[in-house]
Amino acid sequence: MKNNLIIGIPAESRMIKGIYRNNVNSPEVSAVVDYGGIPLLIPTRNPDLMDNYLSIIDGLLIPGGADVAPRFYGEEPIPELGDTDALIDESEINLVRGAVNSKIPMFGICRGIQVINIALGGNIYQDLAAQSPTPVLQHYQRAVLDQGTHHVTVDSDSKLATILETTKILVNSHHHEAVKGIAESLKVTATSSDGVIEGIESVDDDLVMAVQWHPETMYKSDAKMAGLFKDFMDRVRKYQ
């Protein structure tokens, strides 16, 4: 068993002064380090290279980021869709599918929950305000991101409830897309009061855990959020 587990984190690719630059936000890196992992930045925009990283990593953390191109779940873009990059989307989708095949545990955060669901056959709302059949809460909060702003109810029979040790939790929120139709291999574990899906996990194993909020900005002051990263690393160790 490895003492230090390698956790792949797909990087955003942003154009700065005419040059694409790969970056991963520091809170995700800090959380992985704090719970015994070695973060490995995975440059995206190269979908065909993803299998090479799957042979290196022990766990996969899919972080937040830009919107997902609707063509990956069989839709056309609506006017409210934000910025997308299909090469990043395809790279992350390849990583998720490869991780499932290789039994590499995953943890999805914000965009990560959406990418995992799409990769495994589900779909998402391109914009909650425009497409939700009922009124929604403020899911793109104006409060600072290390503070919770709305509550989430957690299924008492879920692994997520066991990790959080509660069935109701205050979370932060920074998104306008959200899971809509759930993939067959996944189940919903948490929802907000407006019905938005806030948590998903594997039906038949514990390879997948994902949440719509951002525990990486809250875990240092909130033990329940810290539990999500501890669980992730425990699952990675289990599959070694």
Helix (H, G, I), strand (E, B) or coil at 101: helix
Q: Whole domain around residue 203: which residue ranges?
A: 5-238
pLDDT of the residue at 2: 58
The single residue of 12, 90, 110, 201 carrying the catalytic annotation is: 110
- DSSP characters for 35-85? TTEEEEEE--S-GGGHHHHHTT-SEEEE---SPPPGGGGT-PPPTT-----
What is the C-alpha to C-alpha distance for residues 78 and 84, in angstroms, rounded to an integer? 12
What values do phi and psi take at 14, rounded to 5?
A: -120, 145
pLDDT of the residue at 240: 84
Mean pLDDT of 130-146: 96
pLDDT of the residue at 139: 97
- What's the whole-model pTM score? 0.96
Query: Which of these ranges, 3-12, 104-113, 219-228, has the smallest mean pLDDT?
Result: 3-12
Mean pLDDT of 34-38: 96
pLDDT band, very low/low/confident/very high, at 14 (cuts 50, 70, 90):
confident
pLDDT of the residue at 17: 85
**Active-site residue 174, yes or no?**
no
Q: Which residue has the tokens 């069935």?
A: 167
Mean pLDDT of 14-30: 89
Mean pLDDT of 164-182: 98
pLDDT band, very low/low/confident/very high, at 21 (cuts 50, 70, 90):
confident
Mean pLDDT of 15-32: 90
The CATH number that applies at residue 60 is 3.40.50.880
pLDDT band, very low/low/confident/very high, at 38 (cuts 50, 70, 90):
very high
Mean pLDDT of 52-61: 97
**Active-site residue 176, yes or no?**
no
pLDDT at 204 over 70: yes
Of the candidates 216, 182, 5, the residue with the CA atom closest to the CA atom of residue 105:
5
Q: CB under 8 Å to 126, separation ≥6 — which residues?
A: 67, 70, 75, 77, 78, 80, 81, 177
pLDDT at 237 over 60: yes
Average model confidence (pLDDT) for the chain? 96
The single residue of 90, 177, 198, 216 carrying the catalytic annotation is: 216
- Using CA atoms, how far residue 182 sits from 125, 166, 189, 205, in Å, is 11, 23, 11, 16
Mean pLDDT of 81-93: 96
pLDDT of the residue at 223: 97
- Output 195 or 2, whichever has higher pLDDT: 195
Q: How many domains does the chain contain in total? A: 1
What is the C-alpha to C-alpha distance for residues 167 and 161, in angstroms, rounded to an integer? 6
**Active-site residue 198, yes or no?**
no
- Per cent of the chain over pLDDT 90 is 92
pLDDT of the residue at 19: 86
Helical pair 86-102 and 111-119, crossing angle rounded to 10 deg = 70
pLDDT of the residue at 3: 64
Query: Which of these ranges, 14-23, 89-98, 197-206, 230-239, has the smallest mean pLDDT?
Result: 14-23
